[in-house]
């Protein structure tokens, strides 16, 4: 009996330890060094430091509905226009990574807001939730924009990776408030993404670990994994969406974006980049990336009521 209890206790301890380890990896994913991100973008010439410094900008702190502060930068080279883009970066990155995307839209007459997700960059917040809390933080950024520019502000949201999933969750679960969305390499369902990554890293069927991961993320992070599922809400989005992915992405598989595109009812476009891995569609296909954005804007802005004219 004692031996059986000892084995049972040891198994429970091992299971708890594994659950803690998995949830630690999820909730406190290691972020990239901020200087490394800046150096990477500078060396790749995706940021011109002189041009960026010369842009009219304002640093602001936005209150999250969860009690912490979100750091944002408002760039307003066109004060006569109420036309904005909001940029939502990927996990482990920060707002510096959004500058290359911002530059695309500055050239097309947009003002911009770049910001740091919770627990990233200069923003506060203790854990990463892959869109669960971030979608409401995005709403707080939207609310700030509307409160400062007025209800008639015209804006789109661009998201990359986790930021793309956050954008879809915001549009499908919280409010479809933006005039259009561009989502670059989003995952369709966080449970499926975790199962894939578990299998890839541990060489074991990833779905074995999902119940344990879900339990410990609920206990430590306060949210169920099933609530981080853009595929379950994308059909609610009425506004136009441009879906982007790289066909060679082996971190978030392109099939996920294909599934999201298929589920979206109408007013949609899809671009599969031929070069680059995860979150490299723009870096490795710059000309094509900008061309498809122009096509998307021409289709869904010039043909509808908007201040772009």
Taken in order of first residue, the domains within the chain and their CATH numbers are: 1-30+190-221 (no CATH), 32-189+228-300 (3.40.50.1820)
Confidence (pLDDT) at 308: 46
- Please enumerate in sequence order all residues whose Cβ is within 8 A of that of 251, keeping only pairs 6 or more positions apart, or say none: 197, 277, 278
Q: What is the DSSP string of 73-91?
A: EEE-S-TT--EEEEEEPPT
Query: Which SS3 state, helix, strand or coil, does residue 290 take?
Result: helix
How many whole angstroms separate alpha carbon 181 and alpha carbon 169? 11
Mark the ranges of the chain whose per-residue pLDDT is less than 70.
Answer: 1-12, 302-309
- Cβ contacts of 297-306, under 8 Å, gap ≥ 24: 297/108, 297/180, 299/240, 299/269, 300/180, 300/240, 300/267, 301/179, 301/180, 306/83, 306/154, 306/179
Burial of residue 95 (number of CB atoms within 10 Å: 0-12, 13-18, 19+): buried
How many whole angstroms separate alpha carbon 136 and alpha carbon 142? 10
Q: What is the DSSP string of 213-252?
A: HHHHHHHHHS--GGG--GGGTGGG--S-EEEEEETT-SSS
Q: Do residues 155 and 74 lie in contact, with contact meaning Cβ atoms separated by under 8 Å?
A: no
Name the β-bridge partners of 32: none
- Would the pTM of this model clear 0.85, i.e. be above it? yes
Specify whether the backbone of 6 is left (phi greater than 0), alpha (psi in -120 to 50) or beta: alpha
Confidence (pLDDT) at 204: 73
68: its two tokens: 């912490």
57: its two tokens: 């900008």
40: its two tokens: 């990477």
Confidence (pLDDT) at 203: 76
Residue 88: closest CA among 77, 102, 75: 102
Torsions phi, psi of 9, nearest 5?
-65, -40
Confidence (pLDDT) at 8: 47
């Amino acid at each position: 009996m004692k031996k059986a209890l000892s084995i049972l206790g040891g198994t429970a301890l091992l299971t708890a330890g594994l659950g803690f380890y998995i949830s630690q990896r999820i909730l406190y994913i290691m972020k990239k060094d901020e200087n490394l991100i800046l150096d990477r973008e500078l060396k790749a010439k995706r940021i011109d430091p002189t041009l960026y410094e010369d842009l009219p900008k304002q640093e602001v702190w936005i209150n999250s509905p969860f009690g912490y502060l979100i750091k944002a930068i408002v760039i307003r080279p066109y004060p006569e226009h109420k036309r904005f883009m909001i940029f939502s970066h990927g996990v482990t990155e920060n707002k510096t990574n959004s500058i290359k995307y911002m530059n695309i839209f500055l050239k097309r007459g947009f003002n911009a807001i770049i910001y740091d997700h919770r627990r990233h960059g200069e923003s506060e917040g203790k854990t990463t939730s892959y869109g669960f809390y971030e979608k409401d933080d995005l709403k707080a950024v939207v609310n700030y924009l509307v409160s400062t520019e007025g209800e008639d502000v015209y804006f789109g949201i661009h998201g990359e990776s986790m930021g793309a999933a956050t954008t879809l969750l915001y549009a499908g679960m919280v409010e479809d408030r933006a005039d259009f969305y561009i989502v670059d390499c989003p995952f369709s369902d966080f449970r499926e993404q975790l199962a894939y990554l578990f299998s890839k890293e541990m060489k074991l069927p990833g779905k074995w670990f999902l119940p344990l991961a879900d339990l410990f993320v609920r206990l430590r992070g306060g949210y169920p994994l099933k609530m981080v599922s853009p595929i379950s809400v994308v059909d609610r989005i009425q506004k136009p969406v441009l879906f982007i992915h790289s066909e060679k992405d082996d971190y978030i598989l392109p099939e996920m974006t294909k599934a999201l595109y298929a589920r979206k009812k109408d007013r949609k476009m899809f671009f599969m980049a031929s070069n680059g891995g995860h979150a490299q569609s723009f870096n490795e296909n710059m000309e094509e990336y900008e061309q498809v954005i122009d096509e998307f804007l021409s289709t869904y802005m010039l043909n509808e009521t908007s201040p772009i004219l």
